[in-house]
């Protein structure tokens, strides 16, 4: 992108406010690696060596697991070593190590009724790891923090423990000495290129993990290292052999980092569109400019899988993935007959693409729903939850827990998150990857048992989305029947050419199949704002109820709720439901689609 164009993009996107949700406040899934390095079993004994081909054909699951307790006092280098070893051990013996770093980690053990075979400290676990993985990757945390993504990539590929030179850990041998090997490749783009050319062919996918850069710097192009590297998701990077990178200016053309990232993505051989794990929290201008990844490179062949959370190596390897339609049992859509005197509204809980949200805030919200709804279904309004399709392999136990929770309330359902298979701006993808994206999203919908998808797109592309991309879902063999869009930036009108009173449009495919495209409407907070452009998104429960009550009779529409502005169920959705006029009926997303298709048309 030329500098003038980049400045224009920055000015427009300065309106953006955490469109995808920061996981810190919060490609197809890589195939599970079958590599089996020597590792301790859950009882501390050595696991048997298994060759790659045998492991790929027959995954081995642990009969019990080790719980590693990591307190706040544990240093950042030690935390990285713990997470790396957990990933290596779970790669060798599925579901053998679980790391407890916070209250959410403990809560999932309780919710899933998982009891460890033993509990060990971080230091004891790392000493055990040194015996299991005697070859280490040596590095200097204090001198090479910016290169940690590259160092972790090497250690993952080599099946070695990353050990800071200042840790009192004696390794039997050094497989890679980063203090020497990267001495002449000290810039992040130089180290990335060196590691990619030497080890890239042995990786399975891409991850972006911030080594500790300030996410709100004075200089977007040159932020300081202001914090330790979060250890979240390092375990998944090691279990999957992901290529880890974080180039602040990787999406800025022209820039040497952009050239290197282009090489990594386009010469890797990974399936496209490439799903980027972790989170790109660089270039924060009121929202992370490149978080969706799609518009990062000229090749337009990436999308995000927001996964800055721990224990994904444990959940993704302890059991088989969910792969077939019917494995997940949700609630059937409500039986509602369209009444032209009614107003029908589906409320969607947003940001379910962010797996950290799924593991933290959203699980707390759905527990609130259970407490509210059990035994009081008539007073419990329908609610649809966006949920990452990658949980089918990344954390199938967690996904099944959500579906079981929905059955307990009897009023909760699910929808694909933005923008289906990946958090991406699909209309900005190249043509071939658009087709692959639609196919993958349709398969996700079949497995999750849903017919709706939340769809985010860049503000300049909605005309193309409406005319070209979204009709791809209108095909008889497809599953998606409803598209629930959100504009980026959210406060701009996605469809300025629509009449003011149009709340949805029916798109027709080549074979006559119909898909409903709803009018975007987002609710972010309840406390108001001084900004006139943002005010409609920060309404009180009474103001939202009044707005819905004022819609023309016969309206079918949807409201996308996100917590970025402080909204939650207790302060917004629940009180709003008690204030709605009688002609406003709340429905699930799938039911809204059916009602829209049965409503009269002009």
- pLDDT tens column, 509-542: 999 999 999 999 999 999 988 888 999 999 999 9
CATH code of the domain in which 570 resides: 3.20.20.490
Does residue 210 sit within a domain?
yes
Our count of domains for the chain comes to 2
Q: Is the predicted pLDDT of residue 235 greater than 60, yes or no? A: yes
Pair 125, 45 in one domain: yes
Domain boundary residue among 271, 300, 317? 317
- Split at pLDDT 50, 70, 90, the class of 56 is low
Pair 113, 215 in one domain: yes
Q: Is the predicted pLDDT of residue 248 greater than 50, yes or no? A: yes
Pair 413, 555 in one domain: yes
Pair 365, 302 in one domain: no
Pair 237, 384 in one domain: no
Pair 369, 276 in one domain: no
Does residue 470 sit within a domain?
yes
Q: Is the predicted pLDDT of residue 46 greater than 90, yes or no? A: no
CA angle 412, 335, 342 (to 5 degrees): 95
Does residue 338 sit within a domain?
no
Pair 390, 298 in one domain: no
Beta bridge partner(s), residue 485: 455
* Percent of the chain's residues with pLDDT above 70: 90
- pLDDT one-digit tens code per residue, 15-34: 444 444 544 444 333 333 33
pLDDT of residue 286: 84
Q: Is the predicted pLDDT of residue 119 greater than 50, yes or no? A: yes
Pair 285, 369 in one domain: no
Q: What is the mean pLDDT of residues 65-89?
A: 98
- pLDDT one-digit tens code per residue, 276-295: 999 999 999 988 999 999 99
Does residue 21 sit within a domain?
yes
Does residue 328 sit within a domain?
no
Pair 261, 399 in one domain: no
Does residue 327 sit within a domain?
no
Q: Are 82 and 70 in contact (CB under 8 A)?
A: yes
Pair 514, 551 in one domain: yes
DSSP characters over 217-282? -S-SSS--B-SPPP-TTHHHHHHHTEEEE--TTTTSSSSHHHHHHHHHHHHS---SSEEEEE----
The whole model's pTM is what?
0.91
Pair 20, 63 in one domain: yes
Q: What is the number of other CB atoms lying within 10 angstroms of the CB of residue 421? A: 30
Sequence-distant (6+) residues with CB within 8 A of 116 are 42, 64, 65, 66, 67, 98, 109
Q: Is the predicted pLDDT of residue 270 greater than 70, yes or no? A: yes
pLDDT of residue 42: 34
pLDDT of residue 30: 33
Does residue 153 sit within a domain?
yes
Pair 12, 114 in one domain: yes
Residue range of the domain that includes 23: 3-317
Q: Is the predicted pLDDT of residue 486 greater than 70, yes or no? A: yes
Averaged confidence pLDDT in the chain: 91
Q: Is the predicted pLDDT of residue 11 greater than 70, yes or no? A: no
The 3-state secondary structure of 349-402 reads ECCCCCHHHHHCHHHHHHHHHHHHHCCCHHHCCCEEEECCCCHHHHCHHHHHHH
Does residue 332 sit within a domain?
no
- Split at pLDDT 50, 70, 90, the class of 93 is very high
Q: Are 101 and 122 in contact (CB under 8 A)?
A: no
């Amino acid at each position: 992108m030329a500098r003038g164009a980049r400045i224009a993009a920055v000015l427009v996107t300065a309106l953006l406010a955490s469109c995808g949700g920061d996981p810190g406040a919060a490609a197809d899934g890589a195939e599970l690696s079958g590599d089996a390095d020597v590792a301790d079993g859950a009882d501390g004994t050595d696991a048997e060596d298994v060759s790659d081909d045998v492991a790929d054909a027959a995954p081995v699951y642990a009969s019990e697991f080790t719980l590693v307790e990591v307190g706040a006092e544990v240093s950042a280098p030690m935390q990285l070593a713990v997470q790396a070893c957990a990933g290596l051990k779970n790669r060798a013996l599925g579901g053998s190590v679980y790391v407890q770093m916070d209250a959410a980690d403990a809560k999932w053990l309780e919710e899933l009724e998982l009891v460890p075979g033993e509990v060990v400290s971080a230091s004891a676990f790392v000493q055990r790891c040194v015996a299991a993985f005697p070859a280490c990757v040596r590095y200097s945390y204090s001198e090479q923090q910016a290169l940690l993504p590259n160092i972790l990539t090497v250690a993952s590929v080599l099946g070695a423990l990353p050990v800071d030179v200042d840790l009192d850990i004696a390794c039997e041998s050094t497989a890679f000495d980063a203090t020497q090997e990267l001495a002449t490749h000290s810039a992040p783009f130089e180290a990335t290129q060196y590691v990619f050319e030497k080890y890239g062919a042995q990786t399975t996918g891409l991850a972006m993990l911030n080594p500790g850069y300030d996410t709100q710097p004075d200089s977007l192009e040159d932020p300081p290292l202001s914090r330790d590297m979060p250890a979240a998701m390092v375990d998944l990077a090691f279990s999957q052999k992901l290529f880890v990178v974080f180039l602040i200016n990787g999406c800025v053309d022209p820039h040497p980092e952009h050239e290197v990232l282009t090489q990594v993505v386009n010469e890797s051989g990974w399936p496209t569109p490439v799903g980027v794990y972790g989170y790109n929290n660089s270039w924060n201008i009121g929202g992370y400019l490149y978080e969706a990844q799609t518009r990062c490179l000229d090749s337009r062949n990436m999308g995000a899988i927001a996964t800055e959370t721990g224990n994904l190596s444990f959940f993704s390897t302890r059991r088989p993935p969910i792969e077939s339609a019917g494995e997940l049992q949700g609630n059937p859509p409500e039986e509602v007959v369209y009444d032209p005197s009614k107003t029908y509204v589906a409320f969607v809980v947003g940001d379910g693409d962010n797996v950290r949200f799924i593991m933290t805030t959203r699980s707390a919200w759905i527990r609130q729903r259970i407490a509210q709804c059990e035994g009081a279904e008539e007073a419990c309004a329908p609610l649809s939850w966006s949920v990452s399709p990658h949980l089918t392999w990344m954390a199938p136990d967690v996904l099944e827990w959500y579906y079981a929770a929905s059955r307990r309330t009897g009023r909760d359902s699910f929808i694909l998150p933005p923008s289906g298979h990946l958090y991406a701006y699909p209309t900005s993808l190249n043509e071939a990857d658009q087709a692959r994206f639609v196919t993958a999203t349709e398969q996700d919908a079949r497995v999750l048992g849903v017919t709706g998808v939340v769809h985010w797109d860049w503000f300049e592309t909605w005309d193309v989305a409406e005319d070209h991309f979204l009709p791809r879902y209108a095909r008889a063999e497809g599953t998606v029947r409803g598209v629930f869009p959100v504009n980026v930036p959210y406060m701009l009108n996605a469809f300025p050419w629509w009449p003011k009173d149009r709340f949805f449009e029916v798109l027709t495919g080549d074979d006559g199949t119909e898909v409903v495209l709803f009018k975007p409407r987002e609710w972010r907070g309840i406390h108001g704002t001084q900004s006139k452009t943002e005010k409609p998104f920060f309404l009180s429960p009474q103001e939202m109820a009044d707005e819905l009550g004022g819609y023309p009779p016969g309206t079918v529409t949807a409201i996308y709720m996100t917590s970025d502005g402080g909204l939650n169920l207790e302060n917004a959705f629940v009180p709003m439901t008690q204030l709605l006029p009688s002609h406003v009926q709340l429905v699930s997303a799938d039911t809204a689609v059916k009602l829209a298709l049965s409503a009269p048309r002009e």
